[in-house]
Structure 1
Amino acid sequence: MEKQLRKFTELIGFRYFIIIILILTGCLQFGLMYGNVKGVTYDFKPLQLAPETVRSTKTIEDTYKTQQEREKAATAVGPVYQFSEDVAKQRAAIVTSLFDYVLEVKKDVANSKEPIAIADQVGQLRKKFESLDEDQMPLIFTDSQLEGLLVQSDEDLNRTSIQLSKTVEEYLQKSIRPENVFVAQNDFETKIRGQRGYPDKIFNTVVLIGRTSIIENETVNEEQTKIRKEQAKESVEPTRILQGQIIVQEGQIIDKEAFRQLELLGMISNQASLKPIAGLIILTLLQMVFMYILFERWEANERKKRNALLVTVIVYSLSILLMKFISLVSGGFDVTIAFLFPTALATMLVRLLADDKAAVLVTVMTAASAGVIFQEGYSSVMQMEITLYIIFGGFASLFFLRSVEKRSHILQAVAVISLVNMAFIAFYLLMTQSSYGLPELVFYFVAAMLSALLSGALTMGLLPFFESAFSLLSSLRLIELSNPNHPLLKKLLMEAPGTYHHSVMVANLAEAACEEIGADGLLARVGCYYHDIGKTKRPAFFIENQMSGINPHDSLPPETSAEIIIAHTTDGADMLRRYKMPQEIIDIALQHHGTSLLKFFLFKAKEQGKSFDEATFRYPGPKPQTKEAAVISVADSVEAAVRSMKEPNAEKIHKLVRAIIDDRVQDNQFDECDISIKELKCIERVLCETLNGIFHSRIEYPKADK
């Protein structure tokens, strides 16, 4: 299947491969979840007899009824009045101003050198009165009334002004609303007529001024009234149609109200809402878009991204199938059996077979889809408790399954997931504020434990199938391959013990360096165990296996020796393929020498006067494609070189390591992998530290006296 997938990907391009896979996944998801959002519908008409009893399939707010009740509550709220204390002083001041105008005209007449006719005085006074705003004092005086004011003495006018303004101010201390103004004016007139001290000739004018001075001092506060009405509306609880509520009984007429409720619930066939279906399409598109972005931007080789994508969508699809099955059988139970769903299954599989980012995305996607699939109607969008249940369980596996070196580590993570699941169940039971019997409590907590156990069991059961089908290399698979009892490692130990020891030493160096730069240390270690497996074909031709001191290369032409040495990479790859080893291990066997040059045999050929193409003495490659292969290529050469040194010390080791790395850089061996100069410096430092620890100076103990 690996070959077919590679050919198909090369044919259409990786980007289009992602799009096709995600379109197929989205269609499958939509098909499985469509029934959960479509709802139950009836082909009813208004005023027909109901052929069956219809109950609400979900709890929903009746917005029409709610609005009616709120408007009713707002109408019941009366206007809010606001009393103004300034009105009394303002009206009293206007009364005073009127009499002051009269006194001013009289004063002008007295100061005039020529006599002013009474008619002219009346005209002057009328102009002054007209200067007042009509809204302040809408008075129209007759000429005789104005003349009566002008003929009064200054003393009478001052006394009348003081008495009337005081009376107006005192009277306006009590509240007067607009609808009560006329009654208040009549009452005030009665009050004036009962007082003494007003001149008889202007008494009617005083009454007129007094009546006009009385206005409303308590008016409606529109803003406060609006606020009160809004508060009254907000205090009204929404009217809801409850799940299970009978909308119409069998045999009853479907009246206008019942038909409206059925339409609101989307239970009429010709009025069925397309909104949930559109919402499901949007949810599916969002999920697929995020998955596309994740894998399209993932910085990894195409093969790894392709396999990770396929594993992710298959695991996600299997999760939806399992959720769909549980939802189909849940109708016959009084408890929520959705809590049996293995919360961490998808997360752990994707975490082990792809990477952490994909695992986080799948956790959220699975939780969102579960909320829709297990939605039972009393929540308007999704079953949030199931959504959160899966998120907490999945994230628990992410936090407690950081490194997997044994299958028992999965079981340890299962124990933590079980505790997290039970903690969430406790939260759920407490928040529902319902009374549960002992059998129900036992079921929910057992379901939480079973969910965790199923997550672990299915992960361990399905992991080998995915590893085999997609040639994937998980941490568990790497641990299995590092077992010394593996047939190839036993073969290496028995037939090329020197190479076996060399491989173990290189593994220690490469793992430490990879971990320092953030590469996969475990992959580097296991890759080192097998990188020289090709030497078992002709072990005696490699110096580490020449125990007798006889070197067969001494009797061979340099080009033949080079051919034998170079062949160990391709021989090793062929041997690894026969044993169906992961591609990553095969790649390390092929790439750990890159296209480097066998300088020893090239120089030997030149010394013998032979002329050869330099390519004859170069490894066929390819050059290292990954950081792990690059590190192993350096560690392999460094270990062999240091082992051949006489009396190695820190300074010699450092010079040697630097020279080997510089040689690889100058030979362009790292051009095809994304390793940086900074990382090469880190590798240099770690290799020196590790080698100094291995080849440290030993104390020379004094010889014992004989």
Structure 2
Amino acid sequence: MEDSLDKLYKNQGLIYKYILYFVTVGCIVFFFPRGGKFKYEFQKGKPWQYENLYAPFDFSIRKGEEEISREQQSLREKQIPYYTYDTAVVAEVSQNFREDFQVLLDSQQLTERQKRRLSRIGEDILLELYRNGILQNTSGREVPEFLYLVRNNEASRVRTDALYSLSEVDSLVRDILKSRRAGDYYSIFQDVFFNAVRPNVTYDAELSEKELADELSKISTTRGNVDEGKLIIARGEVVEAENLNILNSLKAEFESELWSANNQYLILFGYTILVALVLMMLFLFLKKYRPAIYRNNIKVTFIFFNVLLMVFLTTLVVKYDEAYVFVVPLCILPLILKTFFDARLGLFVHVLTVLILGFVVPNSFEYIFLQIIAGIVTILTVSELYKRANLFISVGQITLIYIVGYFAFHIIHEGNLDDMNFFTFGFFLLNGMITLFAQPLIYIYEKIFGMVSDVSLLELSDTNSRLLKELSNKAPGTFHHSLQVANLAEAAANAVGANAMLTRVGALYHDIGKMNNPTYFTENQVTNVNPHDDIEPRESAEIIINHVIEGIEMAQRNNIPDRVIDFIRTHHGTTRVYYFYKKEMERNPETDEVAFTYPGPIPFSKETAILMMADSVEAASKSLVNPTYPVIEEFVEKIVNGQMKSNQFLNANITFKEIEMVKKVLKQKLTNIYHLRVEYPE
């Protein structure tokens, strides 16, 4: 039992990677759309590259979205709207008219015969007005030639001009009075009709929309059939509008039939194998070429999380509307990975992610081509993100590549620019704007995963930061030494293509542990009094060595990133405190060398190796009496070769050629620092 638990504890990192691997594969397959994959790839305007294709079964030819949209639009334009005839309004108007008109007639000096005659005329006018009704004001709505008038739950088709509007009431009253030779009484009728008449025919939106929906639902999504065995397309024939529609119909029918209860588990199994292969390539790449990242489970989780995020966003957009697929800012992935790791890893992960998305997106070849080209442009252009203009320039170039690529594909497919969808260019611009979100996203990732970007390094390099300010006050000599080392190391890192910003920051913080006992280090001694003269060499060595451990603890308390703390850990490697070791050897030849040796580890990156060389050379250069170029050259060779001889660079990915380049830079810089000046007369 204990052995099993011990093995489990020792292999917990590997077990975590297995769990991460299988969970990621499962999530990606779960995000995939449910459906089989048509075994033929085809594009409009390109020749059919396979053998003659015959219909494997009977299927219907599906109408394209544009064709269905045209039919729907035609139905909307031809639709006859429904209007409701309100009889209650007619009854109310009639009642009010009789009462008001009778009162008005009684106030006039008219005979009973005249009153009865005018009352009949008024009733006739009302009857005419409400025979088909008075239409309510239709401002903002186009009135059709015909409409359905719903009266007593029965709809009848009538001409719109058979209905009256309020503006026509006056002219109708005039015409009827004139025809009945009662024009002299117009003023009486005008007053009463102006107050009494109200519209009673209103637009019935609910009924109209319901009828339109019923009509739209009757539109057939297919037109014609293809019988089994019929030739669909011959080898070498160009895929054009006519056979493209048939091929798309066959593809949709094939995938819907393929995704049945019997086949769905096999299809899922196939997807799982392919996704597992892609992610396995990622694991193998990390293990072989990025072992430091592979061993760090947080970094591996970070990479897999970003892949999963991009797959999730893309599948979500495709399910909503595949036309928006290029809105997803996929180039954020290589941009972020290059920021935190390196360009090669960023491009590799981007390509693998695009291959996975090839199962999801329409026109997979076009999508994969554009995204890979855009990813390459991202890797080539994005650098020094702490300079704000760089990200905007890179995003502009990425957007331009998308637009040019889409433009070229459209010409290949259509052969002209007539149907160019310029709205798609807006998607690319939106993609670029979202890509700018990479800056705040980098900050969020730094806080969540404890990563370090160039922006954070730029902040740490500020000599007015609290820790460096404290170093300059407590140990000014060490602070000046750190600045000199930073300049040397940064120049050397630039020469060999290492991360110059990281190297500079590491150099600025590498000796912060000396703040605890500043006077025990020669660069901080302003008098001839040396505290080491009063203590044993072994104790002196312990104080010197402890500045590494104390520096690590101090950096951790101040939330300095681990990538910077690595420089504190490794800047002396496993070298000896040689001066005090020799003093102790003079007193006791059998002295244990371990007590005078730094605990390590030795440098394990190009940047930490450069710092070790720059630190040793700068510190020792203070002892040069006559620093001419030959002296400096011999001096640098001696120190760096001694470090190589003691195997300090075995774990660092730095070559002999790069070490020679570093030595050359150090010689040039030291020569510039110690160049001879002209002696001015007093």
TM range (shorter): 0.5 to 0.7
Q: Distance in 2 between matches of 1:483 and 1:566?
A: 27
- Cα deviation for residue 533 of structure 1 reads 0.6
After TM superposition, the structure 1 stretch with the greater mean CA deviation from structure 2, 407-416 or 237-246, is 237-246
Residue from 522, 545, 559 that aligns with 1:580: 559
Q: Read off the aligned partner of 2:280 and give its amino acid letter.
A: V
TM-score by length of 1: 0.63
Query: How has the CA–CA distance of structure 1 residues 268 and 447 changed in structure 2, closer, same or farther, with 3 Å as cutoff?
Result: closer
Corresponding position of 1:224: none
State how 1:106-121 maps to structure 2 within 5 Å.
none
Q: Deviations over 1:139-197 (max 9, x none)?
A: xxxxxxxxxxxxxxxxxxxxxxxxxxxxxxxxxxxxxxxxxxxxxxxxxxxxxxxxxxx
Deviation larger for 629-638 or 499-508: 629-638
Q: 1:288 to 1:668 in 2, by over 3 A?
A: closer
Deviation at 1:54, TM superposition (A): 8.3
Task: Provide the C-alpha distance between the structure 2 equivalents of 1:465 and 1:536, rounded to a whole number of angstroms.
Answer: 32
Gapped regions of structure 2 (runs ≥ 5): 1-5, 39-56, 60-216
Which residue number corresponds to residue 455 of structure 1? 435
Write the mapping of 1:310-329 to structure 2, written as runs, cut at 5 A.
310-329=301-320
More displaced, 665-674 or 575-584?
Answer: 665-674
Are 1:372 and 2:359 an aligned pair? yes
Any residues of structure 2 matched to 1:113-512 within 5 Å, and which? 240=243, 242=245, 266=257, 269=260, 277=268, 280-301=271-292, 306-330=297-321, 336-375=323-362, 382-433=363-414, 441=422, 443-457=423-437, 459-512=438-491
Could you tell me whether the CA contact under 8 Å between 1:406 and 1:479 is conserved in 2? no
Q: CA deviation at 1:675?
A: 4.3
- Match of residue 33 from structure 1: 32
Which amino acid letter does the alignment assign opposite residue 272 of structure 2? I
- CA contact 2:581–2:596 (8 Å) conserved in 1: yes
Query: Does the CA-based 8 Å contact 2:33-2:360 persist in structure 1?
Result: no
Alignment of 1:521-536 (within 5 A): 521-536=500-515
Separation in structure 1 between the aligned mates of residue 503 and residue 295 of structure 2, nearest angstrom: 16
Instruction: Tell me the SS of whatever aligns to 2:230.
Output: helix
Match of 1:662 among 638, 641, 659: 641
Contact 1:605/1:611 (<8 A) preserved = no
Higher alpha-carbon Rg:
1
Does the C-alpha gap of structure 1 residues 588 and 431 become closer, same or farther in structure 2, counting only changes over 3 Å? Answer: same
Q: Secondary structure at the match of 1:373?
A: coil
Residues 391/245 of structure 1: CA separation in 2 closer, same or farther (3 Å cut)? closer
Paired residues of 2:310 and 2:330 also in contact (CA < 8 A): no
Contact 2:33 2:319 in 1 (8 A): no
- CA displacement 1:575-631 (0-9 Å, x = unmatched): 111122222221211221122222222333455669743322222222223333232
User: Cα distance 1:362–1:540, how it changes in 2: closer, same or farther (>3 A)?
Assistant: same
CA distance in 2, matches of 1:342, 1:613: 60
Q: Residue by residue, what CA displacement relative to the aligned partner does 1:95-140 show, whole Å, maximum 9, x if unpaired?
A: xxxxxxxxxxxxxxxxxxxxxxxxxxxxxxxxxxxxxxxxxxxxxx
Letter in 2 for 1:478: L
Q: How far off its partner does 1:699 sit?
A: 2.4
**What SS does the aligned partner of 1:35 have?**
coil
Q: Is the partner of 1:581 in helix, strand or coil?
A: coil
Q: Counterpart amino acid of 1:337?
A: Y
Tell me the equivalent position of 2:531.
Answer: 552
The code of the aligned residue for 2:328 comes to F
Q: Go from structure 1 to structure 2 and tell me whether the alpha carbon gap of 1:691 and 1:436 turns closer, same or farther (over 3 Å shift).
A: same
1:638, CA displacement in angstroms?
A: 1.1
Deviations 1:553-574 (A, max 9, x none): 2233322222221111001000
The reply to whether residue 64 of structure 1 matches residue 229 of structure 2 is yes
- 2:662 is matched with which residue? 683
Q: Does 1:23 align with 2:22?
A: yes
Change (3 A) 1:262 1:680: closer
Query: What do the CA deviations read for 1:4-33 (whole angstroms, capped 9, x no partner)?
Result: xxx999732766654443322121111101
Deviates more, 1:495-504 or 1:272-281: 272-281
Give 1:642 deviation, angstroms.
1.0
CA contact (8 A) 1:347 1:362 kept: yes
SS in 1 for 2:436: helix
Question: What is the CA-CA distance between 1:482 and the residue it aligns to?
Answer: 1.3
Return the alpha-carbon distance in structure 1 between the equivalents of residues 642 and 674 of structure 2: 23
Distance 1:593 1:245 in 2: 67
8 Å CA contact 2:278, 2:356 repeated in 1 = no
Following superposition, the deviation at residue 53 of structure 1 comes to: 9.0
Q: How far apart are the structure 1 equivalents of 2:312 and 2:503?
A: 37
Residue 632 (structure 2) aligned to one of 653, 672, 686:
653
Structure 2 CA distance for aligned equivalents of residues 274 and 580 of structure 1: 50
Shift in CA distance, 469/61, structure 1 to aligned 2, threshold 3 Å = farther
Letter in 2 for 1:537: N
Q: 1:370 to 1:8 in 2, by over 3 A?
A: farther
- Aligned partners of 2:550 and 2:607: how far apart in 1? 21
Given residue 448 of structure 1, which amino acid in structure 2 is its aligned partner?
A: F
Opposite residue 412 of structure 1, the aligned amino acid is I
- Contact 1:298–1:305 (CA under 8 A) maintained in structure 2: no
CA contact (8 A) 2:519 2:531 kept: yes
The 1:413–1:262 alpha-carbon spacing in structure 2 relative to 1, beyond 3 Å, is closer
Per the normalisation by structure 2, the TM-score is 0.65
Q: Deviations over 1:437-460 (max 9, x none)?
A: 99x62x322221110121121x21
CA drift at 1:403: 4.2
Distance in 2 (alpha carbons) for counterparts of 1:541 and 1:60: 94
Cα gap change, 1:303/1:699 in structure 2, threshold over 3 Å: closer, same or farther?
A: farther
Any gaps of 5 or more consecutive residues in structure 1?
1-6, 40-44, 71-232, 248-259, 376-381
8 Å CA contact retained: 2:36, 2:256:
no
Question: CA separation of 1:265/1:240 partners in 2, compared to 1, >3 Å: closer, same or farther?
Answer: farther
- Determine helix, strand or coil for the equivalent of 2:34: helix
Paired position in structure 2 for 1:636 = 615
CA shift in 2, pair 1:673/1:270, >3 Å: closer
Counterparts in 2 of 1:393 and 1:664: CA distance versus 1, 3 Å? closer
